[in-house]
Structure 1
């Protein structure tokens, strides 16, 4: 059971996640968090050393939240193909995303690329782990005879991720989900070509 201090810290982090995801690290100021949490600056700084510490922990939580949600969706697939389709379907609504403001992995990657090396490394690790998990899943499908061995799991895993992350940001900018639905349908059709 969490202590009162731990519950307060968790409340601050969970409240801050959508704010950071919508405004970005550089766009958020402490007053945004104070207004949303209705806490005092003293209380906030009792849990975090400074804005950088808060930002890092918020990004950590947002990356964990979205990664866990994707893993849960994938886990619910009954076959390897079903698991890959579940991964794709996770991205089918680019306007109303799991955490408001889009994909925190993509959002953090773009902002951290040149400005926040520590956060960039965290996002890079998320991408690498996600690629490895997808690639391993596709390899498992090849090994169990579900997919043809002509499927290159590493290349296809990268294609899936790059496509849906890029599609998500484009659809958000254009304010339409329709192209994403077409993209997901196309990626599913391409994977079907490898089904034995």
Structure 2
């Protein structure tokens, strides 16, 4: 986030009404709970305990647990996107941006968003149960490899990468390898397999660098 953007966010928050601030507070407290326990595994009592708000107060801002879950999924996905963009924006070169993205996800046991990757968490849970959440996750699943490919294509134009490198193919492969590595690491409780995958990804980046 740039300094200008940060100042804008501060100004925006100052203009928020009390109701808007409360709604934001509920989202911030609910997000890690839903991302850790899942939509089905999260009870409104969990949210009440985290926010110290009565159930009636929660329902003033969200019509139902389902309504809250939709907002929470958006919040977690946005948070993940913000962390990714912030990490990449620290670098000016395409290669620096791609490597920053890789490094951000290199330790699934200490993820950038509390609870792990929301795409993986909510996507797997919603696959056969919630088409609305599935659609939300799918938008980011589709956009992420495209963003990576666009960065590589820019790098090719700038002379950082070889013209022969298939940006679209690598973007999809890189994204799938990282998500797969996250799954294996979270289930096994160690990042050994992710470390292997990260090294494979970085090796291909170096092989296609000029």
TM-score (norm 1): 0.96
Q: Aligned match of 1:169 in 176, 179, 183?
A: 183
Mapping of residues 90-169 of structure 1, within 5 Å = 90-169=104-183
Matching of residue 10 in structure 1 with residue 20 in structure 2: no
Whether 1:192 aligns to 2:203 is no
- 1:65 corresponds, among 67, 79, 100, to 79
Structure 2 residue runs without a partner (length 5+): 1-14
**In the alignment, is the contact (CA less than 8 A) between 1:102 and 1:169 conserved in 2?**
no
User: 3-state SS of the aligned residue for 2:144?
Assistant: helix
Measure the CA separation in 1 of the matches of 2:156 and 2:147. Answer: 14
Given that 2:105 and 2:112 are in contact with CA atoms closer than 8 Å, whether structure 1 keeps it comes out as no
Name 1:56's counterpart in structure 2.
70
Question: Which one has more relative contact order, counting CA pairs under 8 Å at least 6 apart?
Answer: 1
**CA distance in structure 1 between the aligned counterparts of 2:82 and 2:120, rounded to whole angstroms:** 16
> Deviation above 3 Å: which 4+ runs of structure 1?
none
Structure 1 gap segments, 5+ residues each: none
> What is the CA distance between 1:103 and its match in structure 2?
0.5
Correspondence for 1:32 among 46, 54, 65:
46
> RMSD value over aligned CA atoms?
1.0
Give the distance between the partners of 2:163 and 2:120, measured in 1 at CA: 31
Q: TM-score, normalised by structure 2?
A: 0.90
Which secondary structure state, in structure 1, belongs to the residue aligned with residue 128 of structure 2? helix
SS at match of 1:121: helix
Q: Aligned pair 1:79/2:79, yes or no?
A: no
Match of 2:6 in 1: none
